[in-house]
Amino acid sequence: MPGPDRLIRSQKVLVRGLKLDAFIGVYDHEKNRAQPLVIDVEVDLAPHRVEGIEGTFNYEAVVAAAQAIVAEGHIDLVETFAERLAGACIGQDAAQRVRVCVLKPMALAPQADAAGVELVLERTAT
């Protein structure tokens, strides 16, 4: 096996199944009642050795960002929520690529388990 200096390191931080209630949706019946959201976030980190907490991505920041977005008030589109959350995540220095999936479990009930959106943001070389 090659020594550790010859390996390409790849690391991903995951937050799966984050459940929040949000005022979200464009229809009249969605304006005045909170609906459940189920959120998955994947953050690909820049290749580096992690020596301590200060050198990695704070996954608690994902939860805090999602809660802050919900606290701002009504959001018309799930896409808007996903964009804001992805933007907060990619704003951390260690993040190279962020994938956010936001599901509304009640949106198409009982015909479907959920409806939602997946969004990917990736840093590009300048």
> Per-residue pLDDT tens for 81-90?
999 999 999 9
Residue-range definition of the domain harbouring residue 20: 4-122
Pairwise CA distance, residues 51 & 29, whole Å: 50
Range 15-44 average pLDDT: 95
pLDDT at 56: 73
Pairwise CA distance, residues 115 & 78, whole Å: 10
Count of domains for the chain: 1
| pTM (predicted TM-score) | 0.87
Residue 23, domain CATH? 3.30.1130.10
pLDDT at 3: 59
- Can you list the positions of beta strands (E) in 1-126? 12-22, 35-45, 95-104, 115-122
pLDDT at 69: 98
What is the SS3 assignment for 29? helix
Please, where are the H alpha helices in the chain?
28-31, 60-71, 78-90
Amino acid identity, residue 46?
A
